[in-house]
């Protein structure tokens, strides 16, 4: 998915689905990973602008266009998982993003990505607590 997002981000194709199909055509990908990538695409594509807003909100003093292309796409994947894929634990998304950054980006990128995702994680955890405490019709 990272390769497809990279292609989409730099404008090789107009649709994320086309970029993903390019990756599928070039690389032999097993069915489980293919299904996960399609699921990610289905969550990222309609929420692309919202995800970008989240990245800018949680990255202090960094505009999206100033970030490395790889870094912002790693963030897009992790944020899509954290926001729209509740079956994936948020800490797993953060850890995977950090590991991918260590492998494919600069030596400082993993700390930058970890910081943004950790701030989002804390905020999401606080919202869940708030919703639990202040939902009027809780069943105990």
Asked if the model's pLDDT at residue 131 lies above 70, the reply is no
- Provide the pLDDT for residue 137: 53
**Domain assignment of residue 6, yes or no:** yes
Number of domains in the chain: 1
**Domain assignment of residue 43, yes or no:** yes
Question: Mean pLDDT, to the nearest integer, of 106-127?
Answer: 88
**Domain assignment of residue 139, yes or no:** no
Asked if the model's pLDDT at residue 43 lies above 80, the reply is yes
**Domain assignment of residue 140, yes or no:** no
Dist CA 17 CA 15 (whole Å): 5
Question: Mean pLDDT, to the nearest integer, of 20-44?
Answer: 91
- Provide the pLDDT for residue 129: 47
Calculate the alpha carbon distances from 8 to 30, 85, 112, 119 in Å.
Answer: 22, 21, 22, 26
The domain containing residue 87 runs over which residues?
A: 2-134
Question: CB–CB of 23/3 below 8 Å?
Answer: yes
Dist CA 79 CA 54 (whole Å): 8
Q: Work out the pLDDT band at 78, boundaries 50, 70, 90.
A: very high
CATH code for position 37: 1.10.940.10
- Provide the pLDDT for residue 72: 94
Asked if the model's pLDDT at residue 123 lies above 80, the reply is yes
């Amino acid at each position: 998915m990272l390769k497809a997002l990279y292609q989409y981000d730099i404008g090789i194709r107009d649709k994320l689905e086309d970029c993903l199909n390019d990756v599928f055509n070039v690389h032999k990908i097993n069915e489980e990973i293919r299904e996960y990538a399609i699921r990610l695409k289905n969550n990222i594509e309609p929420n692309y602008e919202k995800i970008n807003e989240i990245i800018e909100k949680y990255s202090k003093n960094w505009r999206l266009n100033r970030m490395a292309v790889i870094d912002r796409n790693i963030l897009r994947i992790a944020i899509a998982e954290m926001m729209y894929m509740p079956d994936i634990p948020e800490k797993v998304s953060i850890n995977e993003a950090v590991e991918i950054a260590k492998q494919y980006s600069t030596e400082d990128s993993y700390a930058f990505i970890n910081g943004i995702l950790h701030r989002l994680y804390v905020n999401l955890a606080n919202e869940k607590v708030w919703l639990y405490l202040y939902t009027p019709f809780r069943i105990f």
